A and B are shown apart, each in its own frame.
Chain A
Amino acid sequence: MPSSATPSELEQPNDAEKPSDSEQPGRGSPAVSVPGRRGGSVRAVPAGASSLSLLASELATLFRRRRTMAMLVALAAIPVLIAVAVRLSSAVPPGRGPAFLDRISQNGLFVAVTAMLVSVPLFLPLTIGVVAGDTIAGEASLGTLRYLLVAPAGRVRLLLVKYAGALAFCLAAPITVALAGAAIGASLFPIGPVTLLSGDVVQPPEAALRLLLIAAYLAVSLAGLSAIGLFLSTMTVVPVGAMAATVVVSVASQIADQLPQLEWLHPWLFTHFWFGFADVLRQPVLWDSFASNALLQAGYIAVFGALAYARFVTRDILS
């Protein structure tokens, strides 16, 4: 170090005391001064309120993020694409293409159903993979994880809030598809009573309720995948890796679900009931698959939640 700098630097304290410089830190500024610590103990805000506050912050950070918005827009584009394609093409012969596609021209609400159906195998898992894979790894790669932890957020609390955020996205994603589908369907096609799979007919308000039920079913379906993504996200500081791994897991599970040789495994695959949402469209509603799905997803949440917990609380935060 150039020792010539020393004399001028020694005058620093005097400079610092001059209040004229607006950038000078004001000594003893009321809000930041230290009296509070003299009490010696730290008073915590009630746990529930503070966790809600952190959750609100997490949701705001997640949904104000351009990437999240872009994904929701992309999901909303699926029903738009389907509706426009059906509108522009000639009548779809029944039994061709994805189920329900042939119903769209008669009833716009089926755009929402078809779009949800189409987005189940890949698009929804893709967006969930991005969000869930980013939960911890994204913070780690930004370096913000260490500041959250020294705040201190508490590792378990942070993990729970992160998972809650991913769940919120699990709900937002299918609802986005459903709403966009209903909207574009209503604008391009007639809306009327909806024929259920059982051949019974329900009026549009109940049909809308069933659409939301489907969205809820899909949200539950994606909860297990989110837990897997959360766990994978604690394994790495490279968010893209966790995202890709999560998506790959969902695709692999769906492939395994198709193989008759693995039939014993099928009821244990978290994707097994993904298409069971059609049971909401029966009359009366068949809740069995909803219940089985919820139970299965709860099992995945428990297993991968425990793994994520174990990994995250023992991990050295070095990023």
Chain B
Amino acid sequence: MNRAWTRWVPAAAVPAVIAAGVLAGSIPARAGDPLPDKSPAQILTLLGGHRTTGFSGTVEQVSDLGLPELPAVGPTSGPASAGGTASLLDVLTGAHTARIYVDGPARLRVQVLDRLAERDVIRRDQDVWFYNSKDNSAAHLTLPGFASDLPLPVPPDPAGLPAPDAPNPPAPDMRMPVPPTPADLAETFLAMAEDSTAVTVGPEVQVAGRPAYSLELAPRTDGTLLEKVAIAVDGQTGMPLRVTVRARGQAQPAFEAGFTSLSLDAPDDGLFTFVPPPGATVKELQVPPMPYRPGMPTLPGGPGMVMPDHMPGDVNELRHADKPGPSVTGTGWETVIGFPAPPDGQGAQLTDTILKDPFLSQAAVVVPGGRLLSTSLVNVLLTDDGRIFVGMVPADRLQAAAGAA
């Protein structure tokens, strides 16, 4: 059968066609004309002036901070049920998808799509509901009046941010590692655009099928782990569509959150109505006393920096009213924040407590003078006497700061 081989042609052609299709698909399709050229300042204006108040979309967040990963196993509901550190870790490693529905400043719904489970935050005016399908629990919060002035969209919990410098927060039940919307992160990073940072415009990108400007912020110093932050700004509306944070020496972004699909139509109003399902355990939450800005990540350096006493909830435990505040060494991207040890020689005890956490004890390596929790973007040094040094700098800088203090 000299013709037999021709029968195998489809078997070879089909994978080739699929490979070609995948390659073609990975090259962003040009939709329409290229965007008009804009300077960084113009893009910032576009970004600052965006008036998108109603939209729905899917956000994907990927973190690759070089932390060990917990494999998702079997048909169970994923690792987020494991508790405090795990839920934080859940955000710091791997990928997450959330659907976000926003209609005006006071109507919001965020659905974190877990494996076989979902965590929801629903806000309609002053009412905020939290729902976790895993244990069928709901919680309700009535916001005080000022809260409605908050610019939206804002996820109500900062645990979704890369904040490894908040060591082992004993997360409350309703702690929601919600991937932040691009708007939050863009704001934060833009606020830091100062002398220390080179702000440029990169090649046009496609995000969620929309042409977008790429605003790139790169530190002017080599003394930081951060290499570049890229913000994709929708060419049409000025809405931030994606934020990418790259660490030095790492091919994959250390952190990326962006829309994979986006519709600018106002979502169905019914989405913002939540009634606790039958059988759910419902808890009433108290409004935190301080109107802190949720969603504000704790980034050292820039003007947008949030001081530790503004940090939410649990971090306050580390703060002692009778002790001096944290020390700051270095400037700009090279800033190192030092937290003093608790009084009365409880420092070692604190370190022990922190290291009792199975994940942290696994991730922290022993270095001269303490233990180092190292990620590709942020380093945390726990000294043997209980002090904590945090910075987006190489480990030796932290050790130097610890030695100098």
Residues of A within 8 A of B (CB): 94-95, 98-100, 102-103, 106, 117-118, 120-121, 192-193, 195-201, 258-260, 275, 278-279, 282-284, 286, 288, 299, 302-303, 305-307, 309-310, 313-314
- B72 contacts partner chain A, Cβ-Cβ < 8 Å: yes
A-B pairs, top 5 by smallest CB distance, nearest first, are A199-B131, A195-B277, A197-B118, A94-B135, A306-B10
Docked CA distance A171–B221 (Å): 60
The answer to whether A310 and B11 touch (CB under 8 A), given A195-B136, A282-B118, is yes
Number of A-B residue pairs at CB separation under 8 A: 112
Our pick among A121, A193, A259, A313 for the contact of B74 (Cβ within 8 Å) is A121
Q: List 15 other contacts, CB 8 Å, given A199-B120, A199-B280.
A: A94-B137, A98-B76, A106-B278, A197-B118, A199-B133, A278-B116, A282-B111, A282-B118, A284-B268, A288-B58, A299-B18, A303-B15, A306-B11, A310-B10, A314-B4
Docked CA distance A198–B136 (Å): 10
Docked CA distance A192–B311 (Å): 44
Min CB distance A192 to B, Å, is 7
- B69 contacts partner chain A, Cβ-Cβ < 8 Å: yes
Interface bits B51-83 vs A (CB < 8 Å: 1, else 0):
000000010000000000101111111000100
* Docked-complex contact B75 and A117, CB < 8 angstroms: yes
Docked CA distance A313–B81 (Å): 52
* Docked-complex contact A309 and B69, CB < 8 angstroms: no
The answer to whether A275 and B75 touch (CB under 8 A), given A198-B111, A310-B10, is yes
* Docked-complex contact A258 and B73, CB < 8 angstroms: yes
* Docked-complex contact B278 and A195, CB < 8 angstroms: yes
A-chain residues with CB within 8 Å of residue B279 when the two chains form the complex: 103, 106, 195
B-chain residues with CB within 8 Å of residue A121 when the two chains form the complex: 74-75
* Docked-complex contact A306 and B14, CB < 8 angstroms: yes
Q: Which residue of A lies closest to B279 (CB)?
A: A106
Most B-side CB within 10 Å, residue of A103, A117, A193, A302: A302
Docked CA distance A281–B18 (Å): 31
Q: Which residue of A lies closest to B99 (CB)?
A: A286
* Docked-complex contact A307 and B120, CB < 8 angstroms: no
A-chain residues with CB within 8 Å of residue B76 when the two chains form the complex: 98-99
* Docked-complex contact B131 and A198, CB < 8 angstroms: yes
Docked CA distance A282–B98 (Å): 12
- B274 contacts partner chain A, Cβ-Cβ < 8 Å: yes
B-chain residues with CB within 8 Å of residue A258 when the two chains form the complex: 71-73
* Docked-complex contact B75 and A193, CB < 8 angstroms: no
Our pick among B7, B113, B276 for the contact of A279 (Cβ within 8 Å) is B113
* Docked-complex contact B113 and A310, CB < 8 angstroms: no
Docked CA distance A99–B78 (Å): 10
Our pick among A94, A201, A278, A286 for the contact of B275 (Cβ within 8 Å) is A201
